[in-house]
Structures are given as structure tokens and as C-alpha cells.
Amino acid sequence: MTQAVADYMSLPECLRGTGLTEADLADEDAEIWAHQEFTVVRNIIGKLGDRAGLGIDVGGISTFGRTGILGFTFLASATVREGLARILPYLALSPSHVALSIETDETSDCIVADDEDIPADVRPFIVERDLAGLAAVLEGANAKLEPRWFETTLDEERAARLVKTWSLTADVRPNQPRNRIGGPPGMLDIPMPQSDPNTARVFERQCRQLLERRLARVGVTGQVRSRLLHTPGSFPSMQNVADELHLDPRTLRRRLTDEGTSFRTLVDEVRRALAERLLLENASIETIAQQLGYAETASFTHAFTRWTGSPPSRFSRR
């Protein structure tokens, strides 16, 4: 069997367990949530193996068009630094799941890619894909950076592969707490060849309008529920979710109230759905309590009884 045949996956295999159909992929108005994408990644890893470089292969074929309006906002900016600063408030529109930011001091310029909120089992694939994709997009925009060092949460083999998408000479530092791509002061001040300040402002306004329309269409409730499904067992605080949605916590609370729910209610709904699924899969009550983030089994049993009117043991038998 050739490698190409061995690596083949059918579309139904990729989409298994996501609730998505082929028609959804062709529908430009369809919303594909992060937890659905993570399920696709899990399907890929389950079939092809969690091998180093798999995410790089996917990210390496990224095109500038894939970034949509964010890419054009970046392209019309004066420098790489300005372009990143313009798009950072609208990363919810990005196909990437690493949280980008910029760090600058007297000794270096850095692009930081935080992967803390990405589920651990898909994190290496996503980091490979998103950072290799970012390198490909920058190169496509004729903004090739020249980093001197590359820190990453990835292991040695994955790090060595990934850094080559950015530089052949950069110092590789694997197994670090964060992903940081660093160089000398001014590294991010590379001028963009197609910059136009008026066009950049127009595109930035369109980013803001698009994000507002998306929130209006799917609701804040949908955004919060999807975020809670990222990492079952490690639920973020309302403050963290509000920060990710670029909302004040009081605004988030008010908008959830307007939509007839609350943050606590959504956490309970997600926990209940996950608990019932795991019970149907014959997982033990102790395992479920641990996976849902409960310190004690009794706490989970009490919560499940409050949700359903009966303890989890009775649900299992039924």
C-alpha cells in the first residue's frame, strides 16, 4: 500500500461525530464551531496517527484567500506590526485557534501564539497547522520575517519541522511554556508592499461589522456554548470567555439574559449533555466526574440529580 493510499480518508470519515454534512462545507453561511473542527482533527489523528508534521502539511497549503477579510486588512496595513495590531481584535473571524499577540521590548520583537485553550489531544496538530499556515500567509503577502529564535510548546521533532517553515537558521527551543517567534527589535516593522491607509481602515470597519453580524446571527449563547465545548473538564471562567469575545463581563451577562439564559445555565447544559453521552458509553461515574471537572464524585452525582431528577446510576440502568 502506498503512503498516498494509506493516508486517504473519505469525507464521511473526516466528519464523523461532528454533526456536519458535505452540504454544510459548501454553504458559505454555515457556522462550523471550534469543537466540530476539533472532532475532525481527532478523526484525522485517529486514522492517520498522531505523527509529527501532519499539521504542518495541512497548514503549509494555506492561501491568503483563506484568511478572508482579515487577510486584506493585514495586506493594506503599513507594516507587519500594524497589520497584526489591526486584526488582533477580530481573531474570532480567523480560521486559526492559537491566540496571537505581540510582545516588544528593548531586545526583541515577538509574535506570541498562545495555545492554552486548545484541547491537549489536538494541540500539537493545531499548533503545527496554525503556525505553518501563518508562515505561508506572510510569505504570500511578501512579508517574509527573519526570526532568530523559535520557542514552542511542541516536542523536539515537531519543533524542528515547524521552524523550517519560518527559517532555516533560527534557534529552535522546544518544550517551552509558550509559542514565541522572536527576532531583533524592528523585525515586525517590515513595510507591506501593498499598504494603503484608507483601504486598511475600510477593511477594518468591515471586520467589525462582520463580527457583529455573526454574533447577531448565532447569538452570544451559541458562541459561549461552543467555547465551553472546547475542553470538557476544564471550563473557562465567564471573565475568560468575555475576554475572548471582546466583551465586558457585565455586557456578556446582560446579552445572555436577553437571550433567555445565563453562563451558569450553559455550563450546566454542556456538562449534562457530556455526562449523558459518557453514561451511554458505559463510562464509570468516577471517570465522568473527573472528566467534567468535579473534585468529588458526590458533587457530580448531586449536580446530575439536580439536572435530571434522578442519580446517574439510575440513568445508566435505564
Write down the domain spans for the chain. Answer: 3-189, 214-317
Q: Give the range among 217-226, 227-236, 264-273 with minimum mean pLDDT.
A: 227-236
* Measured distance CA(315)–CA(115) in Å, rounded: 36
Name the fold adopted by 214-317. Answer: Arc Repressor Mutant, subunit A (1.10.10)
pLDDT at 232 over 70: no
Highest mean pLDDT among 68-72, 159-163, 216-220: 159-163
pLDDT in tens, 254-266: 988 988 889 989 8
pLDDT at 218 over 80: no
Does the pLDDT value for residue 161 go beyond 60?
A: yes
Confidence tier at 7 by pLDDT (50, 70, 90): low
Predicted pLDDT at 61: 86
> Which tens digit of pLDDT belongs to each residue from 238-253?
988 888 777 788 988 9
Looking up cell 509559542 gives: 179
Encode pLDDT of 125-150 as tens digits. Answer: 999 999 999 999 898 888 888 899 99
Cβ pair 182, 152 in contact under 8 A: no
Can you give the chain as a three-state secondary structure string? CCHHHHCCCCHHHHHCCCCCCHHHHHCCCCCCCHHHHHHHHHHHHHHHCCCCCHHHHHHCCCCHHHHCHHHHHHHCCCEHHHHHHHHHHHHHHCCCCCEEEEEECCCCEEEEEECCCCCCCCHHHHHHHHHHHHHHHHHHCCCCCCCCEEECCCCHHHHHHHHCCCCCCCEEECCCCCEEEEECCCHHHCECCCCCHHHHHHHHHHHHHHHHHHHHHHHHHHHHHHHHCCCCCCCCCHHHHHHHCCCCHHHHHHHHHHCCCCHHHHHHHHHHHHHHHHHHCCCCHHHHHHHCCCCCHHHHHHHHHHHHCCCHHHHHHC
Q: For the ranges 21-35, 55-69, 190-204, which has the lowest average pLDDT?
A: 21-35
pLDDT recorded at residue 164: 95
| Average pLDDT of the chain, as a whole number | 87
Beta bridge partners of 113: 100, 179
Sort 297 into a burial class: Cβ within 10 Å, 0-12 / 13-18 / 19+.
middle
Give the pLDDT confidence score for residue 87 in this predicted structure: 92
3-state SS, one letter per residue, for 68-127: CHHHHHHHCCCEHHHHHHHHHHHHHHCCCCCEEEEEECCCCEEEEEECCCCCCCCHHHHH
pLDDT at position 6: 45
Question: What grid cell was written down for 143?
Answer: 512579508
Give residue 33's pLDDT: 78
Query: Please, which pLDDT band fits residue 317 given cuts at 50, 70 and 90?
Result: low
pLDDT in tens, 54-102: 999 999 888 777 788 899 999 999 999 999 999 988 888 888 889 899 9
pLDDT score for 318? 56
Range with the poorest average pLDDT among 17-26, 29-38, 106-115, 183-192:
29-38
